[in-house]
Amino acid sequence: MPKMLVPLAEGFEEIEAITIIDVCRRGNIDVTVAGVTGMTIKGGQGIEVAADCLIDSVDINSYDMITLPGGLAGTMVLSESKNVQSILKQMKEQGKYIGAICAAPLALHTADVLNEEFTCYPSIENQIRLDGYHQEQSTVIDDKVMTSQGVGTAIDFALKIVWQLQGESSFKALKENILA
């Protein structure tokens, strides 16, 4: 079973995080929620989520993918976290999957792991770069880096993660099951 790491920091976007975690678990991906700012992390709308572990205790060699939910406040913490930035760089060096949604592609840019083609929440691209940005696409896959625009694209993004890690038949079965 593929394993995915989802780091959460104070101010994360709840719909994106929970959708990614839920859909990927339904798609038979072992998802670990790692707290960057503690074991209980409060999202941007005040919803608290309990982490499975702290980011400092993660052995990235056991993961196939890391996915960052957005939320500007949480993204800024992910961008400034030496540990998260190091994990992103190591995952890229090891040829593993990397995902980010909403504002979180900014954290990928900070780590210098964002590929040429990407999408993000409108206006965040100005903090990254304009070349390679796809405003019209809800989810962009460029080699092993996946990006998506935001809350409204979270289910599509999570389903495409399932496709990448579990294959087309798992993707189709899950998509039909959740009526997406």
pLDDT digits over 155-168, tens only? 999 999 999 999 99
Q: How far apart are CA 149 and CA 83, in angstroms?
A: 25
pLDDT for 130: 64
24 part of the active site: no
What distance in Å separates the CA atoms of residue 20 and residue 156, rounded to the nearest whole number? 10
pLDDT of residue 164: 97
Residues in the chain: 180
Any idea which residue has 């409108």 for tokens? Answer: 122
Query: Is the per-residue pLDDT at 105 higher than 70?
Result: yes
Q: Does the pLDDT value for residue 55 go beyond 80?
A: yes
Q: What is the pLDDT of residue 96?
A: 98
Task: Give me the mean pLDDT over the 110-139 stretch.
Answer: 88
Residue 133 clears pLDDT 90, i.e. is over it: no
- At position 107, the amino acid (one-letter code) is A
What's the pLDDT at 132?
77
Number of domains in the chain: 1
Mean pLDDT of 141-152: 97
pLDDT at residue 125 in the model: 86
What values do phi and psi take at 35, rounded to 5? -75, 130
Residues 6+ apart with CB under 8 A from 11: 42, 43, 44, 71, 72, 73, 74, 75, 76, 77
Q: Which domain holds residue 95?
A: 3-178
Q: Has residue 180 got a pLDDT over 70?
A: no
> Cβ–Cβ contacts within 10 Å for residue 167, how many?
11
Assigned token pair, 67: 């996915």
pLDDT recorded at residue 131: 75
Contact 23, 166 (CB under 8 A): no
- Helices 168-178 and 14-26, interaxial angle, to 10°? 120
Please tell me the predicted confidence (pLDDT) of residue 112: 96
pLDDT tens digits, one per residue of 57-81: 999 999 999 999 999 999 999 999 9
CATH number at residue 152: 3.40.50.880
